[in-house]
Structure formats: C-alpha cells, structure tokens
C-alpha cells in the first residue's frame, strides 16, 4: 500500500512527561503557624490557623504499583486564607503587646526532589516551600504611646529550607488522591528588622483527568459528512484499554490510527482531501490496519505501551495524547482523508 508523503513527518521527539495539577481542598488543609520577630514573639490572634487551597503540581510515574515515583514540581499555586494575623508580644511578659502582625495575599509553591512511593502509596520527601506572593505587615508601637509605625517585608521569592513532607499518593476513582503532611519556615530580613514564620499543615487534594475531547475540524469525505472519532476505553493506564472508534466513514475503505504527543493542524494535507490534527512525532498503527465496515465504522484497541512514535513510548500519568484516523477514499478519484482529532489525558 502506498504511504502518504505527508506522513514522512515522523521527525522529532515525543513530549516530556507532564505533571498533574492537584486541586487542593481548603477545608481539609488546616495549617498552624507561629513566629518571632526582632521586636518579640508573634502569636496568632484571633487564631493561629489558616487554610490552603489552590493547586500543587505533582509529577508521577507508573510502575509495578499504580504510582511508584513522585515529585512536587513548579507551577502550582497554593493560596492562603484567611490572612494570618496576630500580635507581637512584649519581651517583658507583664507588658502589653507592642504591635500587630498580618500576612497579606500569601501564595506558596511546593517543590521537592524525586521520591519513591511504596506499594501502599506511602512516601516521604524533602519538600521546599517558596512564597510566590505576600507581604508581611508589622504594625509596631514599642513605646506604647499610641503612635505605631508600619514595617513592610516583601515575602515574594522567600524560600524555606528543605523540610519533611510525608503522606500517601493513590490512584482513586480514575484519578489521583494526594494526602501530604508538610512543614516549612520563612525568614525575612531587612536592614533593621527581621521576622520568622513557622508553618505546618496538610496538602490534601485530588486530580481527575478531563474527559476525552474531540478537536480540530475535519473535511467532508465521499459520504458527504465528516468522520468522528470517539473513545470507548479507559483513561487508566493500569487498564491498558485505549479503544478508539471512528464513525461516518465510507464503507469498506482501508484505515489506520495515528498518534502523537502533540496536537497541530495542517489544512488540506498534500496527497489528501483532509486535515492533519497532529504535529511533532506522528506514530502510525500500521500493524492494526484494516477496513471500515459497511456501516462506516472502524474500531481498534491500541493500548498504552509501545506507542509507535520514534523512539517507541509508553504513556505516563498526566500525559495527554492525540489520536486521529487516516483512511482511503474515492471522491471522485482515489484519495484519502482524516477524521477529527481526539485528545485523551491519562491517569495511573
């Protein structure tokens, strides 16, 4: 069978493994804090707690167990609410507080090195907390004369030394569940003042892959309509069931599926009446070539390993892969066409 010249675009490399963005549950993530300053100890008022929402980025890799390796990577933004507030105690305990303390608009990024995940999902890691935004406000009245002055310390970029992170990562309900106990401390220095904030709490949340999504426009084939690709399998890598079905095809025409880690668009591709919805390294499931049915259907299970790109690849959790069908046609002379594209994001 003659191969389309345009499918010689098989150069390049597959995309790197993608992190998953864990949605943090603020109600489950209660943190405690305490601090010191150059003016005296800092304690919470009315409370020494806050909640953490937002996201944390987690890179995970499948192995013998659903998740065997993990890493907290840049890109997540954990939000602190409400603002931590407190009072600055007088070094002389019989004297009233000498000021107030507030951290405004604090957001944090959690990162770590690679860490192993046990068969039951448990892990320990050396985690780093980095303040992305935030301002520490110290309203000081050391003389108690009712004339306070304000000290502002910019927290952006401040980073905690590596501290213990521990918890559990599990494949749950077609996604990933993260439970993590974390800690950290920030030290802020100016020319004349300093403050330290100690933090400990939970980073708990979940990630669920988006449902497979058709994308990219297809051109009509000889039926007068366009061919549509659908996902009938499982988004769990452990199930190893990537089943694709394309409808709206001309009957009894040769076809096979294409795959790439990168989407794209090439209109009216050379040698074809269709549009290519892929780019980068394009793999071809030529070993699964066959003919559409009399009803214009083409169905194949392509699996999650030995993806026919160069070099061959296996799917990792969090990655999105893109699929499309190429098929022969006669419209009104021998030609070929393509289905729409289909984006599928995978869980462990």
Residue 2 has pLDDT above 70, yes or no: no
> Which range is least confidently modeled, 60-69, 125-134, 173-182?
60-69
The pLDDT assigned to 221 comes to: 98
Q: How many CB atoms lie within 10 A of CB 170?
A: 19
Residue 279 has pLDDT above 60, yes or no: yes
What are 299's two structure tokens?
Answer: 């169905």
Whole-angstrom distance, CA of residue 126 vs CA of residue 292: 54
Mean pLDDT, range 176-183, rounded to an integer: 95
Q: How many CB atoms lie within 10 A of CB 209?
A: 19
What are 143's two structure tokens?
Answer: 């003389």
Cβ atoms of 14 and 281 within 8 Å: the answer is: yes
Show the domains of the chain with their CATH numbers. 26-203 (2.40.160), 210-345 (2.60.40.10)
Average pLDDT, the chain: 90
Q: Per DSSP, what are the bridge partners of residue 154?
A: 135
∠ Cα 273 276 279 (to 5°): 155
Q: How does residue 66 score in pLDDT terms, banded at 50, 70 and 90? A: confident
Cβ atoms of 258 and 286 within 8 Å: the answer is: no
Q: How does residue 216 score in pLDDT terms, banded at 50, 70 and 90? A: very high
Mean pLDDT, range 257-271, rounded to an integer: 95
Residue 5 has pLDDT above 60, yes or no: no
The pLDDT assigned to 188 comes to: 75
Cβ atoms of 30 and 47 within 8 Å: the answer is: no
Whole-angstrom distance, CA of residue 312 vs CA of residue 325: 19
pLDDT digits (tens, 9 = 90+) for 111-148: 999 999 998 999 999 999 999 999 989 898 877 777 88
Percent of the chain with pLDDT over 90: 72
What are 49's two structure tokens?
Answer: 């707690």
């Amino acid at each position: 069978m003659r191969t389309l010249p345009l499918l010689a675009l098989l150069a390049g490399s597959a995309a790197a493994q993608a992190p998953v963005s864990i949605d943090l549950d603020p109600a489950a993530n209660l943190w405690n804090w305490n601090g010191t300053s150059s003016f005296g100890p800092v304690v919470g008022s009315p409370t020494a707690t806050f909640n953490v929402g937002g996201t944390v980025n987690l890179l995970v890799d499948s192995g013998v167990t659903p998740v065997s390796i993990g890493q907290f990577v840049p890109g997540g933004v954990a939000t602190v609410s409400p603002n931590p507030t407190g009072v600055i105690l007088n070094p002389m305990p019989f004297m009233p507080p000498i000021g107030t303390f507030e951290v405004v608009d604090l957001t944090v990024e959690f990162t770590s090195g690679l860490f192993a995940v046990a068969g039951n999902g448990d892990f320990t890691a050396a985690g780093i907390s980095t303040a992305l935004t935030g301002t520490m406000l110290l309203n000081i009245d050391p003389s108690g004369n009712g004339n306070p002055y304000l000290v502002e310390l910019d927290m952006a970029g401040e980073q905690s030394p590596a501290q213990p992170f521990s918890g559990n990562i599990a494949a749950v309900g077609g996604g990933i569940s993260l439970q993590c106990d974390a800690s950290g401390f920030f030290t802020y220095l100016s020319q004349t003042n300093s403050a330290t904030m100690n933090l400990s709490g939970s980073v708990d949340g979940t990630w669920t892959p988006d449902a497979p999504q058709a994308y990219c426009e297809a051109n009509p084939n000889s039926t007068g309509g366009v061919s549509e690709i659908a996902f009938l399998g499982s988004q769990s890598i452990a199930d190893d069931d990537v089943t694709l079905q394309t409808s709206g095809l001309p009957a009894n025409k040769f076809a096979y599926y294409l795959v790439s880690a990168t989407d794209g668009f090439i209109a009216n591709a050379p040698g074809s009446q269709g549009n290519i919805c892929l780019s980068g390294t394009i793999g071809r499931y030529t070993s699964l070539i066959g003919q559409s049915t009399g009803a214009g259907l083409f169905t194949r299970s392509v699996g999650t390993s030995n993806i026919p790109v160069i070099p061959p690849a296996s799917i990792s959790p969090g990655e999105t892969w893109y699929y499309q069908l190429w098929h022969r046609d006669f419209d009104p002379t021998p030609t070929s066409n393509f289905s729409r594209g289909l984006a599928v994001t995978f869980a462990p």
